[in-house]
Amino acid sequence: MDDGAAALTSRLRDVGYLADDELATVVFLALRMQRPLLLEGEPGTGKTALAEALAATLGQPLIRVQCYEGIDATQALYDWDFPRQILHLRALEALGTGAGDVEEAEKSLYDERFLLARPVLTALQQSPSVLLVDEVDRADDEFEAFLLEVLSTYQVTIPELGTVAAATPPVVVLTSNRTRDLHDALKRRCLYHWIEHPGLEREVEIVRSRAPEVSAELSRQVVAVVQQLRADGALLKPPGVAETLDWARALHHLGASELALGPAARTLGALVKYRDDAERVRSALDRMLTP
């Protein structure tokens, strides 16, 4: 089992995702046990990126459900193509469909060609695949209950067509920024992992891997500043790894090979997204970078 997790670590690294041993182990177990994987952590810690890397590693399509307040089962499962159904009815009328054919006409409206598959149904139909349910904490209790039902059987019933079951259960990754607690029933269905921000050396390695054009010195200096900003705990929204990468790339595009106060202050829009945070970071940079 350890060898399997190590091999998975290597394969994820090949597609640019650097996973630590604990994360690689839980991903390996989720694959072997065919269990959904629930990833929680602060924004920007690489939860969504893991699903993308896993799809690339497995050579399977990534199918994504982006959760939001008010999302319901229909928006994740399927809908009917109403405009095409109307055109179909008009075509039948033009062909002179008689009263005795009304029942057949109604049945023909719910043919599979008029079905609009949303992400969950698509993942079941196109298995094997990787289904990413992103930011599930933004959805409501009813949507959680729907997910629990689907993840228990990997099948759904469409009243007009019958049951659609996955030939091979999709690899399911759920992510949460923990804006609210998820219900225990959904958590019990999943294997769970909390993703921390990476340490300094791992984050430097990530920047060097994902942005090789950035100089080694600049990469280390940028990561050191970001790590300090997170440790201080003064920011409304501490930067994640994605912001670290954006800031390093922005500085590189300005021709920087080392971190200097002027370019660093001018590129803060790549690192922080709140005015108050930008002011706090400028003050911190004055202390850290002024000789």
List pLDDT tens digits, range 221-275: 999 999 999 999 899 999 999 999 999 999 999 999 999 999 999 999 999 999 9
Report the pLDDT value the prediction gives residue 103, as an integer from 0 to 100: 63
Q: Place 1 in a pLDDT band, splitting at 50, 70 and 90.
A: very low
Of 240, 291, 290, 227, the closest CA to residue 270 belongs to 240
- pTM, entire model: 0.85
Report the pLDDT value the prediction gives residue 114, as an integer from 0 to 100: 82
244 burial (CB, 10 Å; 0-12 / 13-18 / 19+) is buried
Mutual orientation of helices 216-232 and 200-210 as an angle, nearest 10°?
130
Average pLDDT, integer, range 182-199? 94
